[in-house]
Chain A
Amino acid sequence: MDIQDIYKNLKSKFGDDKLNLEEIQKDSYIEVSKDILLSVCQHLRDQESLLFDSLVCVSGVHYPSTHEKPRFEVVYHLFSYAHKHKLVLKVILGLDQDLSIPSVETVWKGANWLERETFDMYGIAFENHSDLRRILCPDDWEGYPLRKDYKVQEKYRHIKVTM
């Protein structure tokens, strides 16, 4: 299935006011509103013609306030081993709204660590995540390193961090 068919399939189930297909050459993606994210993911995994059994990666993107459309994005790359097709899902979070999004851990167990990494790097909170701790940085690290406005802390405990 290509992305238009997947989009049609989703539209027939969820309507199109909370979904949006962005067609860019080779990089098309479907934008989902965060309140239906969980049910969309469940549908993508279970529906006979979709069967997205693998969550390849979860990542974040920060477009800072200097960008024309400042926002955070959470990006889900999906792959189906059954049908050999793939899909990119995006959820867009405004800079002003609170940075939380439902966890898809109940759909794909592997989301656990992927979401922890996104939380660690961007500070995006995943609701109902079973163990939302930092995964790479130390637990008591300050700030979220992959945000564009990140400033590294002077000291970590007794260790000087900066040059």
Chain B
Amino acid sequence: MVNLTTNIHAPYGSHIEDKNILLTTVDKISNWARSSSVWPFTFGLACCAIEMMATGAPKYDLDRFGAGVFRASPRQSDLMIVAGTVVIKMALRIERLFAQMPEPRYVISMGACATNGGPYWQHGYHVLKGVDRVIPVDVYVPGCPPRPEALIEGIMLLQKKMMKEKRITEKFTHGHPRYL
């Protein structure tokens, strides 16, 4: 951002001096807006969900990071936190729910189970060995279960990732949005 008002040689002179103008790119401002208001999808599948609930509750207060508005509908959420063991039966539902989320959408794989099957990696015939077999994952949070701080770090990492996006530039320079 450039503060024009400090430049006394600015071509527009004092015309805009008192108009409070900021300059930035559309990408930056939309990334900033998007990453400051991530709406996660209420998506607890097993024990990890308890930690996710604790993260949303007052002690850890996910709202401080602009990501505490848990929605009960995929159509209102931007972020799916896959918190827990994904069984094969659920994998089909996850695929569908992910497809129902509006773009841009993000996925955090929370805990060992969602990442690669966790304790069930060998003998759990019914457990999907990693949610990335059915949907793309942005951030993996390790742990069994991860502490709330770890989930918060994951969310902050995702917010950093969001800030680096150039969706609008790409849309207008290449003629298509960048799909994740």
Contact = CB atoms under 8 A, between A and B. Distances in A.
Interface stretch (B55-63, B122-130, B143-151, B152-160): B122-130
Interface residues of B, number: 13
Contacts of A161: 88, 125, 128-129
Contacts, number: 29
Contacts of B117: 163
A152 B134 CA distance: 19
B122 A163 contact: yes
Chain A interface residue count: which class?
A: 10 to 19
A7 to B, nearest CB: 39
A14 interface: no
Given A138-B88, A138-B89, A159-B91, A145 B133 contact: no
A150 B126 CA distance: 13
A156 B134 CA distance: 12
A156 B125 contact: no
A163 B88 contact: no
Given A145-B126, A161-B128, A161-B129, 12 more contacts: A138-B89, A138-B92, A150-B125, A156-B88, A157-B92, A159-B128, A159-B133, A159-B134, A160-B129, A161-B125, A163-B117, A163-B122
